[in-house]
Amino acid sequence: MSHDYILYGWHLSYFTGKVRCYLRYKGIPFVDQDVDLYTLTQRIKRKTGAVVMPVLRTPDDAWLQDSSDIIDYLEQLYPASSVLPSTPVQKFAAYVLEAWGDEWWIPIAMHTRWSYSENYPLFEQEAGSHLLPRFPRWMQRKAAGFVAGNLRGMLQRVGVRSEQFAVLNDWTLRMCDLLEAHFSQVPYLLGARPTLADFSLVGTMYGHLGRDPWPKREIIAPRPALRSWIDRMASPPPAEPGAHLLPDDAIAPTLEPVMRAIFAQFVPMVEQINAQVSDLLRDWPLGKPLPRSLADVEIPIGNAVLRRAALPYTLWMVQRALDVYAAMPDQDQDKVAAWLARLGGESLLELRIARLERKALRVAPVAA
Ligand SMILES: N[C@@H](CCC(=O)N[C@@H](CS)C(=O)NCC(=O)O)C(=O)O
């Protein structure tokens, strides 16, 4: 059998946005298929082991799951207009930003959607009609309600707790101000073309903050440079040969406050997840998937503390970045280490994560 790539997902979905924007930027022909209930819960479950989106079905009928693995796979096949920087600091930064964009923003994306009821009609309408196309409206509403119930069931775990709304909102506004200042100066995170870092961040920005009515109006609309970056990412202009990342492996000064926040907040979160996982692994068989979530971690945010459950999967994302670092020649590692030290990120390189393999939405320890 041979067909174009098929992307199973929804416009509402965080990680589908990451892959869709990537496919469009790369000019890879694909069918953008709103996933229905049967495909989501039966076919995808059978093929990947989880009820999850996005899934990319390849022309030779492999069903690929996980946005990072999908992008890795396609980068090998379509090396033109690579989204991976070739110089050490930008390359490492792209992977760190990918881990942060994928993992850190989950509570923000869930909070800005599920804590404001004006967002629900869009969710209900789109999710319902995708799940049960051609079915009566009342059945579509019921199906959307079922999925919404499952997603609401995750809120507490990911840190969307009413006593934390103010911290989440303040953090989001401050971070979006930083991103606005950056995109007012530089078209993409690392220069004049998008990288893995942009595709990760656009997941939360396109599917959630840029489309759900409350955050779209309250957070994104007042920040026109951020808005136009989202729009450029969603409908990318054709890749231009002359569009380069910043010269001399530089990270824009406007991105430095974002990186500092990552090192001050995301890295401590990762360290705490790693401590919990390391404890557990003392008595855990190789190959057995870890629970999806563990006990709470406590993340310093200015004078406040944000609590959310530790997700072992996050370590797999960070392992990707550390693998890239480990594969660099010494002089490149020195450049990355010096850059991290300047921005307060040196402890990232001290993390000792047990080797993990992804198993659908979970991770399992494997021999190093
Ligand atoms: N890390 C995966 C996660 C995919 C994911 O979490 N997808 C969400 C929708 S955006 C989902 O299907 N979640 C179901 C669940 O968490 O059980 C990726 O990068 O693709």
Q: pLDDT of 133-164, one tens digit each?
A: 999 999 999 999 999 999 999 999 999 999 99
pLDDT in the model for residue 66? 98
Average pLDDT value over all residues in the chain: 97
pLDDT in the model for residue 279? 98
Report the alpha-carbon distance of residue 40 to residue 35 in Å, rounded.
6
Task: Please give the span between the terminal C-alpha atoms of the chain, in angstroms, as a whole number.
Answer: 37
Report the alpha-carbon distance of residue 252 to residue 86 in Å, rounded.
16
Share of the chain above pLDDT 70, in %: 99
pLDDT in the model for residue 239? 76
Report the alpha-carbon distance of residue 366 to residue 285 in Å, rounded.
9
Residues contacting residue 311 through CB under 8 Å, at least 6 positions apart: 103, 273, 292, 293, 294
Question: Which helix (H) or strand (E) covers residue 6, if one does?
Answer: strand 5-9
pLDDT in the model for residue 2? 65
Q: Which residues pair with 357 in a beta bridge?
A: 364
Mean pLDDT of 229-248: 92
Q: Which two tokens stand for residue 76?
A: 């090998």
CA of 54 to the centre of ligand 1 (A): 7
Report the alpha-carbon distance of residue 315 to residue 336 in Å, rounded.
20
Mean pLDDT of 326-334: 98
242: confidence class by pLDDT, cuts 50, 70, 90? confident
Does the structure show a pLDDT above 70 at 324?
A: yes
Mean pLDDT of 283-296: 98
Pocket test for ligand 1, best of 52, 72, 147, 356 (most atoms within 8 A of CB): 52
pTM of the model: 0.98
pLDDT in the model for residue 134? 96
Pocket of ligand 1 (CB under 6 A): 13-15, 52-53, 66-68, 102, 361
What ranges in 191-312 are assigned the alpha helix state H? 196-202, 213-215, 224-234, 256-261, 267-281
Q: What angle do CA 263, 266, 269 make, to 5 degrees?
A: 120
Note the Cα 251 to chain centre separation in Å. Answer: 20
Does the structure show a pLDDT above 60 at 114?
A: yes
Q: Which atom of ligand 1 is nearest to the CA of 15?
A: 10
Report the alpha-carbon distance of residue 317 to residue 66 in Å, rounded.
11
Does the structure show a pLDDT above 60 at 253?
A: yes
Q: What is the per-residue pLDDT across 337-366, written as a single tens digit (0 to 9) for each? A: 999 999 999 999 999 999 999 999 999 999
